[in-house]
Amino acid sequence: MRDTERYIAFDVETPNHLNHRMSAIGISVIENGAVADSFYSLVDPETDFDAFNTWLTGIDADAVRGAPNFAALWPRIEPLLNSGILVAHNAPFDMGVLRRCLQAYDISWKRSARYLCTVQMGRRLLPDRSHKLDALCSYYGIALDHHHAGSDSRACAEILLRYLESGADAAPFIKTYALNSPEAR
């Protein structure tokens, strides 16, 4: 593998259809061609849970009772998120939730962030495959507890590593996401 960038694979779970808060976050750090660090936390979204989201993630109001809200968690996760190129499976979703959480808690971070989407990368590299997270994990033999943010972020990191190990160049897939967009205000 020739890529020497530091990648920060992350995944969020949300409490409801608004996708403006997170109920869990998982972060997996890729450094020197391997997952070097990981972090997981439930997050008190300080909002209502939809039955569908609870069914999908197993997270409800009782599960997050006593968990930090996003603002309280931010000092812990910001150094990780700021330490490399952000990566997510279906990144526009996760990046949007992150942006809306920053806005909801009036947290100034940075105007934009470099990111990479493993779905978009996979569509180019494996055009004849399903690009759903569970399908790619099955294809690559990656363990997955789907819709658990810690497991999903690790799976995303492992998928990116498989792409890079196959000789793929991540550079053409790296984009910039505007974090200060007023869209979600």
pLDDT, position 147: 97
Asked if 29 and 80 count as a contact pair (C-beta separation under 8 A), the reply is: yes
102's tokens: 């920053």
Checking if the pLDDT of 2 tops 80, the result is no
pLDDT in tens, 9-48: 999 999 999 999 999 999 999 999 999 999 999 999 999 9
Checking if the pLDDT of 114 tops 60, the result is yes
33 dihedral zone (left: phi>0; alpha: psi -120 to 50; beta):
left
pLDDT in tens, 43-96: 999 999 999 999 999 999 999 999 999 999 999 999 999 999 999 999 999 999
Rounded to 10 degrees, what is the CA torsion of 121, 39, 47, 134? Answer: 40
pLDDT, position 185: 36
CB atoms within 10 A of CB 114: 13
What residues contact residue 151 under an 8 Å CB cut-off, 6+ apart? Answer: 26, 143, 144, 145
Average pLDDT, the chain: 95
